[in-house]
Amino acid sequence: MLLEGLYARAESGWIIRRTEVRQHYTVGASVDLNNLKNHHRLWVTPAYEYLFKSLTFRMSAPLQAVLFPGDKEVLYLPGLTFRTDYKINYAWNARLSARYGKELNDITAFYLKPYFTDYRTTMENETGIPVTDKQLYTLRTDYKNTLQEFFVTADLTVSRSRVNHTLEQSVRDNIFWWTRRYIPHRESSYGINTVVSKGFFDINTKVSAEVSYWYNQSAQIREGVWMPFSFRTLMIKPSFSISLTRQAEMAYNGELRRQWSSFGDNPDKSGQVASLSGLWNMSHKGSFYYMQRRLDLSASAEYFRNEITPDHSVNLLFMDVAASYKFPRMTLQLQLNNLLNHGDYSYTVYHPLSLYSSQIAIRPREILFRVIMDL
């Protein structure tokens, strides 16, 4: 898919602080000329803020008008956002927010010719304007203890949406075709996300972990059949870093993801649905850095494990090395990428109604040498 265009934006705002309620007004306009669908936007956003003891109230009501040359009707995108921040004490903070908005979806929905997203997946679109009415509610709490270097953040999120289009999946010649059809459906999502981090000053170490769990409900069309479905996603992101000396540091970042789904006429009633077992997709990256006054060295290794079936997985290891040396007016840089010279990368494409494997080509082993001069 080829996307070409020209985008220009202008915006102005002013603030009124003379009253107890702080007022902020913004107006703007943009022009988007592209080879998919030209459109222009006008918007105005009044926003208000009120401080009462440990509570801060914020509200905004953005209104946006989207004009498509050649179309007689103007698309209006109203919105309303309300947020309350509560500072309990130095360590504890809480936030409650609610937002309603009408949104214009990805501009690629205007592309009328089929295009590949990977070698086994093709997208195509019916003619229309993709719009979503969305409600989003979030409760956030965070705790910090600076002296002990201990931090915790927890988010609870609920969203409900009405989408004016639905994706249809079909298979032709071992290619998965996705077609955007302008048949409305509803979506809902419930999620919790927690981040915990702890620093150890005496040993120059920091560890952290992020855990999130999401439950989603939606619908799509499969070979002409309407399919409501639900799916769950579990994601874990551990990480740590340690400074071995003043010049050397090691770091690790990982991501483990798993999804499950159920689908049928009623995904909420057991015995009336089919289910799709989840597969693990994992990545682990380790890095080493060595820094002196003139010499910098770094090396990284990234390991991928993607389950194709419950009994079969694809394992891949990438390694990169880089070095630089600084002279008074010159810097030499050397990079060695993809040292093991992998030619392709296989992975699992997970959709709530299907699982299949795909792959992408990888740049072969390469050696880059740069000379940077200060003139």
Claim to verify: residue 117 and residue 46 sit in the same structural domain: no
Give the lowest-confidence range in 110-119, 183-192, 241-250.
Answer: 110-119
DSSP string for 20-73: SSEEEEEEEEEEEEESS--EEEEEEEEEEEEEETTEEEEEE--EEEEE-TT-SS
Rounded Cα distance, 51 and 21, in Å: 8
Confidence band, pLDDT 50/70/90 cuts, at residue 117: confident
- pLDDT given at position 1: 54
The Cα 343–Cα 314 span in angstroms is 14
Specify the higher pLDDT residue, 181 or 110. Answer: 181
Tell me the two tokens of residue 314. Answer: 């694809």
Tell me whether residue 83 is in a domain: no
Query: What percentage of the chain exceeds 70 in pLDDT?
Result: 93
Q: Do residue 281 and residue 317 come from a single domain?
A: yes
Note the pLDDT of residue 270: 45
d(CA 41, CA 32): 8
Residue 272 is predicted with a pLDDT of 52
Decide: residue 27, CB within 10 A, 0-12 exposed, 13-18 middle, 19+ buried: middle
| Same domain, yes or no: 105 and 229 | yes
Q: Are residue 132 and residue 7 in the same domain, yes or no?
A: no
Residue 17, pLDDT > 60, answer yes
Q: Per the domain annotation, does 57 fall within a domain?
A: yes
| Distance separating alpha carbons of residues 96 and 146, to the nearest angstrom | 24
134 and 236, same structural domain? yes
**C-beta of residue 290 within 8 angstroms of C-beta of residue 298:** yes
Q: Beta partners for 225?
A: 222
Secondary structure class of 214 (helix, strand, coil): strand
27 and 94 in a single domain? The answer is no
Q: Which domain holds residue 25?
A: 1-78
Of the candidates 276, 269, 320, the residue with the CA atom closest to the CA atom of residue 297 = 320
Q: Same domain, yes or no, for 25 and 122? A: no
State how far the Cα of 37 lies from the Cα of 18, in Å rounded to an integer.
44
Give the chain's domain count. 2
Percentage of the chain beyond pLDDT 90 is 53
Asked if 178 and 215 sit in the same domain, the reply is yes
User: In the listed set 29, 59, 78, which residue is the last one of a domain according to the structure?
Assistant: 78
Report CA-CA distances (Å) from 219 to 8, 129, 228, 230. Answer: 36, 19, 4, 8
Name residue 374's amino acid.
D
Report pLDDT for 269.
46
pLDDT at 343: 81
Q: Which of 56, 78, 100 is the last residue of a domain?
A: 78
pLDDT of residue 265: 58
What confidence score (pLDDT) does residue 224 get? 86
When mean pLDDT is compared across 128-137, 197-206, 337-346, the lowest value belongs to 337-346
The reported pLDDT for the residue numbered 43 is 92
**Cα 131 from Cα 101, distance rounded (Å):** 10
3-state secondary structure of 203: helix
Mean pLDDT of the 45-58 span: 93
Per-residue DSSP letters for 68-117? -TT-SSPEEEEEEEEEEEEE-SSSEEEEEEEEEEEEE--GGGG--S-EEE
Do residues 294 and 325 touch, judged by C-beta distance below 8 A?
yes
202: which DSSP letter? G
pLDDT given for residue 267 in this prediction: 45
Mean pLDDT within 70-94? 91
Q: Which segment, 73-82, 188-197, 309-318, 353-362, is predicted with the most confidence on average?
A: 188-197
Domain contains 155: yes
**Structure tokens, 339:** 């040292």
Statement to judge: residues 65 and 94 lie in one domain: no
Range of weakest confidence among 83-87, 102-106, 159-163, 165-169: 102-106
Instruction: Summarize the confidence of residues 47-52 as an average pLDDT.
Output: 93
- How large is the average pLDDT for residues 324-337? 93
Q: How many helices (H) and strands (E) does the chain have?
A: 0, 25
Please give the Cα distance from 142 to 94 (Å, whole number).
Answer: 7
